[in-house]
Amino acid sequence: MSDWLPPGLFDYGAVLAVEIDRRLGTGVVGDAENWIEMPRHLDNADPATQPVPWGDGALCVDLGPDDAGTWERFAEVHRSETNPEAVAVAAQEWRLPVTPYRRLPAASAQRGGISAGGTVPFASGIDDVDVVDLTSMWAGPLCTELLGRAGAHVRKVGSVARPDGLVGTPMYDELNAHKTAVELDPRHPEGRRSLDELLATADLLVTSLSPRALANLELLPEQLCARHPRLRTLAITAFEPDSPERDWIAYGTGVHAASGLGWLGDKPQAPAYSYPDPLAGLQAARVAVDQLKDIASQHTRVSLAGAIAPIVTRATCSSTAIAAVGAAGFDSKHHG
């Protein structure tokens, strides 16, 4: 397994942790490294998806458990296409989590830096709020677990038909320790009625579904406003809403590949684990607290790509850092 993690990862995580704890007046987050390094601390670090050479570049083919057959058929159909960008676009039409490995963009195209941004409001708790958690895996559950540890009543929605991919692992237990499990499937009428009953009294709905899935389940803000006008929503997606990839399906490793952080040296490389997820989870928790305090917008979207944007900026603007990472192959702060 690769040991590579981007420079600035732990610094930015620490900034987010401080911002969240200041907003809550608690130490619920504490040391951000504990959350970012969860796979290693809990022996849950599976080998990251390795780059797949394709044409004049490479792809991140981050398949789910039901995608293998579809990918084989897709690869056969598109074998003659040599442009990884075109292949990734076509793969998304097949609903496959495939992204291209890109090189870093020009520095002028980047915005922001290593800071959480925003004004820190007066610290107060959130122990009187109800949160419905319709998330899975790492980023979304981390966000809602932090809210639960801060005192919010979090109801984790799941179903046997579509279980969380981390079920049965130490990470799942850690990320869902302060929640009440609710068994329902919103794809079916009875499950949808049960979900609406939860949303009728909820203060915040947190999701980590793709925009297409949210639309199909009628969980987009414009679809919810008539039934639940006071409900706040926080959607955690792979890419930013104003990007060409806004509707793409991707996991953390795929976002890493598309960001340019996976190609800082002579060849594309996978990270040690899916680091965009914990950064997005921390950022989402910060936004959620602001929403619950009516400081942030009622309906908000946080993305994995947006969460790592400050690290992309830092790498883009520092040719010295790029050269050092290319030579060393890891974050010297933690692996030197």
Residues in the chain: 336
**How many whole angstroms separate alpha carbon 60 and alpha carbon 258?**
9
SS (H, E, C) the chain: CCCCCCCCHHHHHHHHHHHHHHHHCCCCCCCHHHHHCHHHHCCCCCCCCCCEEECCEEEEECCCCCCHHHHHHHHHHCCCCCCHHHHHHHHHHCCCCEEECCCCCCHHHCCCCCCCCCCCCCCCCCCCCEEEEECCCCHHHHHHHHHHHCCCEEEEEECCCCCCCCCCCHHHHHHCCCCEEEECCCCCHHHHHHHHHHHHHCCEEEECCCHHHHHHCCCCHHHHCCCCCCCEEEEEECCCCCCCCCCCCCCHHHHHHHHCCCCCCCCCCCCCCCCHHHHHHHHHHHHHHHHHCCCCCCEEEEEHHHHCHHHHHHHHCCHHHHHHHHHHCCCHHHHC
Q: Tell me, what's the pLDDT at 325?
A: 45
Instruction: Name 135's Cβ contacts closer than 8 Å, sequence gap at least 6.
Output: 141, 143, 144, 206, 207, 208, 236
Question: pLDDT tens digit string along 277-322?
Answer: 999 999 999 999 999 999 999 999 999 999 999 999 988 876 444 4
Bridge partners, residue 235, by sequence: 207, 301
* Regions of the chain with pLDDT less than 50: 108-112, 319-336
User: Which of 244, 237, 186, 250 lies closest to 211 in space, CA to CA?
Assistant: 237
Residue 173: CB atoms within 10 A of its CB come to 12
Q: Tell me, what's the pLDDT at 214?
A: 93
Q: Tell me, what's the pLDDT at 237?
A: 97
Provide the CA 80 distance to its chain's centre, in angstroms: 32
The model's pTM: 0.89
**How many whole angstroms separate alpha carbon 141 and alpha carbon 199?**
18
Residue with tokens 């075109």: 86
Residue with tokens 């540890």: 149
User: What are the Cα distances from residue 284, in Å, to 142, 152, 221, 300, 324?
Assistant: 9, 15, 17, 9, 31
Q: Which domains does the chain have, with CATH numbers?
A: 9-335 (3.40.50.10540)
Residue with tokens 């989402």: 284
Q: Tell me, what's the pLDDT at 135?
A: 97
**How many whole angstroms separate alpha carbon 99 and alpha carbon 239?**
11
Q: Tell me, what's the pLDDT at 127?
A: 85
User: What are the Cα distances from residue 167, in Å, to 149, 164, 280?
Assistant: 20, 5, 20
Q: Tell me, what's the pLDDT at 66?
A: 86
Residue with tokens 């981050």: 62
Q: Which two tokens stand for residue 137?
A: 């895996």
**How many whole angstroms separate alpha carbon 22 and alpha carbon 17?**
9
Q: Which two tokens stand for residue 77?
A: 């159909």
